[in-house]
Structure 1
Amino acid sequence: MSQQVTEGVSILVETFYQPAQSDPVKYEHLFAYRITIENLTIYPVKLLSRHWHIKDSNGTHREVEGEGVVGQQPVIQPGDSYQYTSAVNIYSEIGKMYGSYLMENLFNKKKLTVAIPEFKLIVPAKLN
């Protein structure tokens, strides 16, 4: 589990290896990740977009950008949280992800860049 607070917004990440959707023979490993975004500020924030860095231990580096998350641009009220689950496929047994969300303070329309903390993607057998 990884957690970081930026600009009063907390990001908590949990990962889950998905063996049924992975194919180790082809070096394809699917991980689900659950992200909880908690608004610790006194104003509502809107998640506008995301920017991910995905790195495999084989040296592959991908960047993914897009509007919102899982098809939504949630508004998170002060003291509330928003949670979603998504997935990523990597092509080695160890990898990592990190990135940022572009958010908007709906009180003053100021844009906020909120860090998504780095988290590891490790096939459980590699931990033995």
Structure 2
Amino acid sequence: MLHDNTNMLAEVGRLETPKLSGKYDTGQLFLHRVFGYRGVVLFPWLARVYDRDIPNKKESSLDESSFNQVGKEVKGCTQTFYQVLIDARDCPYIRAQTESVTFLGNQDSSRSLYAIPGLDYVSHEDVFPYTTTEKVPLQHELFDKFLMYYPDKDPPFGAQETLRAWQKKNHPWLELSDVHKETTENVRVTVIPFYMGCRESQSTTVFWWRYCIRLENLGELTIQLRERHWRIFSLSGTLETVRGRGVVGQEPVLSPHLPAFQYSSHVSLQAPSGHMWGTFRMEREDGYTFDCRIPPFSLESKSEESVPPTSS
């Protein structure tokens, strides 16, 4: 199998047949179906996927009725996702932020924002497994801390105790529980929300979430994201509107050749729960513009029992 990330081809291993059932084990090497990077599976998650494309429903308007969809029942099905490490050599060429896993640490009663580089969440269908004879096939600072080479295993890499301890300690902040999907005019939006923790002061408590968004162009015409329009509802009763150009300082182009873009952002509420929904204004190469729906998703906090213990 050949891999290309700098217009130079390099042999990295031999592709295997993707699994149609079951799950991949810790240490499985893979290529990402959409972004093409090399990665390795750390551990699996079972997530509830709410796909709004599955029910046969009438197109609804994009005004306040979009908020009404928040409470509309959309059946979720359980699917396997994976926490993975990304090969550092591929990070500069991925149309996705590669430091998207963040959480609030709990140390000396002062919580700081931690970012873990080179981590991603990957659905089972996006994994193209491969094997290699290299003992260190991936360049990542955590690879040899988390994984060990076992020549008689399949895959030949297994978890070290440091990986199990890291997973246990940070489980509440790494946990992927809900995934939301919706397609508008051949543009699919996938949202994964994560609870990050809360910050307390004498007068108020602020709850924080991060959310990862992937945009995929499933059509044949090139499109560009021009604007975002968010509605953020807090359990405290407030409804906030946020408008702006692009996302994370970019107006990404989604072409048939490079059809996907992924980014992460953060939101805070002065309440333990809320909802978010909205639209992206897209412009097609023929000049046609349309609003692409962002599926409504819940922001739910977790009990303080889930907070990792303070470091000594």
Does TM, normalized by the shorter one, top 0.5?
A: yes
Structure 1 residue 86 and structure 2 residue 265: aligned?
A: yes
Q: 2:212 corresponds to which residue?
A: 34
Q: 1:124 corresponds to which residue?
A: 302
Letter in 1 for 2:277: Y
Instruction: Report the Cα distance in structure 2 between the residues aligned to 1:45 and 1:27, rounded to whole angstroms.
Output: 41
Query: What TM-score, normalized to structure 2?
Result: 0.38
Letter in 2 for 1:32: R
Offset of residue 125 of structure 1: 2.5
Letter in 1 for 2:199: D
Between structures 1 and 2, the one with greater strand share: 1
Query: What TM-score, normalized to structure 1?
Result: 0.91
Offset of residue 58 of structure 1: 1.1
- The structure with higher relative contact order (CA 8 Å, sep 6+) is 1
Instruction: Report the Cα distance in structure 2 between the residues aligned to 1:119 and 1:87, rounded to whole angstroms.
Output: 14
Give the alignment partner of residue 105 of structure 1, picking from 276, 284, 306: 284
Instruction: Report the Cα distance in structure 2 between the residues aligned to 1:49 and 1:5, rounded to whole angstroms.
Output: 17
Q: Any idea what the Cα deviations from partners look like across 1:14-46, whole Å, max 9, x if unmatched?
A: 011112xx2256231110000000001111110
Structure 1 residue 23 and structure 2 residue 199: aligned?
A: yes
Gaps of 5+ in 1: none
Q: 1:9 corresponds to which residue?
A: 187
Q: Any idea what the Cα deviations from partners look like across 1:56-100, whole Å, max 9, x if unmatched?
A: 011111000000000000001127210000000111111010000
Gaps of 5+ in 2: 1-178, 305-312
Instruction: Report the Cα distance in structure 2 between the residues aligned to 1:8 and 1:41, rounded to whole angstroms.
Output: 5
Letter in 2 for 1:3: K
Instruction: Report the Cα distance in structure 1 between the residues aligned to 2:214 and 2:303, rounded to whole angstroms.
Output: 27
Based on CA coordinates, which of the two structures has the bigger radius of gyration?
Answer: 2
Instruction: Report the Cα distance in structure 2 between the residues aligned to 1:24 and 1:5, rounded to whole angstroms.
Output: 38
Q: Helix, strand or coil: the match of 1:50?
A: strand
Structure 1 residue 114 and structure 2 residue 292: aligned?
A: yes
Instruction: Report the Cα distance in structure 2 between the residues aligned to 1:50 and 1:78, rounded to whole angstroms.
Output: 22
Superposed CA RMSD = 1.6
Q: 1:75 corresponds to which residue?
A: 253
Instruction: Report the Cα distance in structure 2 between the residues aligned to 1:27 and 1:61, rounded to whole angstroms.
Output: 18
Q: 2:241 corresponds to which residue?
A: 63
Structure 1 residue 44 and structure 2 residue 222: aligned?
A: yes
Instruction: Report the Cα distance in structure 2 between the residues aligned to 1:24 and 1:61, rounded to whole angstroms.
Output: 22
Instruction: Report the Cα distance in structure 2 between the residues aligned to 1:24 and 1:115, rounded to whole angstroms.
Output: 34
How many residue pairs get aligned? The number is: 124
